[in-house]
Amino acid sequence: MKYIDPHIHMVSRTTDDYRRMALAGCVAITEPAFWAGFDRSSPQGFLDYYRQLTDTEPRRAAQYGIRHHCWICVNPKEAEDAGFAREVMSLIPEFLEKDNVLGVGEIGLNKNSRN
């Protein structure tokens, strides 16, 4: 049976995981942008991350016959600094034009902050 994984974070997974998923019948995934476990120190860090989601991960997935789609965002934790968040958000429109980008996400609330 073939399946689609609607929410998975492959940037933190090994290529072996793509192989195992393909063997189990995975044909497509959607990967929302998320907090990396550390706060990025500049908008350039997000630019690199967005390129990984839109270029690197689709190539890795395609090696195993899996279609990779993603969502682009600045996560709530790193959006605490409004000026920083605006800089990052100014980068997003160019990525929304990419074929594998479904829209804006992962969005939510940050329980560790005022927002």
Token pair 């630019």: residue: 47
Q: Where are the domains of the chain?
A: 3-104
pLDDT tens sequence for the chain (115 residues): 999 999 999 999 999 999 999 999 999 999 999 888 888 899 999 999 999 999 999 999 999 999 999 999 998 888 888 899 999 999 999 999 999 999 998 877 666 656 5
Q: Which of 57, 52, 95 is nearest to 73 (CA)?
A: 95
The sheet carrying 101-104 orders its strands as 3-5, 26-32, 67-72, 101-104
The label of the residue with tokens 């995981």 reads 17
Specify the pTM: 0.89
Q: Does domain 3-104 have CATH number 3.40.600.10?
A: no
